[in-house]
Structure 1
């Protein structure tokens, strides 16, 4: 019961952090560039595909250990994800 309430607040929050959104977009871009599905990265990282989707949408704040597992699942160094989040690519026109 408590988890469901926490999830609802997280998903409905109007105060999402732009850095979390950029981190999630960086994760998604790196995953797609490597031709990996969410399920593939989830299996390789030990994370759930649902949680991975939450990360990609910037809805959660993954811990450093989770970020490292995610980088391992993507097959990239963690600093590559962080660099991509801090210096995002411009949106295509």
Structure 2
């Protein structure tokens, strides 16, 4: 099943446009988009294949951490996770 997983990492400084563009480039291979310009968070929405909601979150989280590292972003902790599967109407939010 295909899942859309949204993740956000919380930090202690404002993210620049260049940093978020770097994250967008790093998540593009997963149909991803990035957010966070001008905030103390960076985030991405990724599309992943997985057999369950939990597996989708795990897979997307791993890719998010790798993408953030490739983009040279600080290794901030993931603060928010939202996930929606094919056919779901409302996202399930995890913290």
Which structure is larger by alpha-carbon Rg, 1 or 2? 1
TM-score by length of 1: 0.36
TM-score by length of 2: 0.35
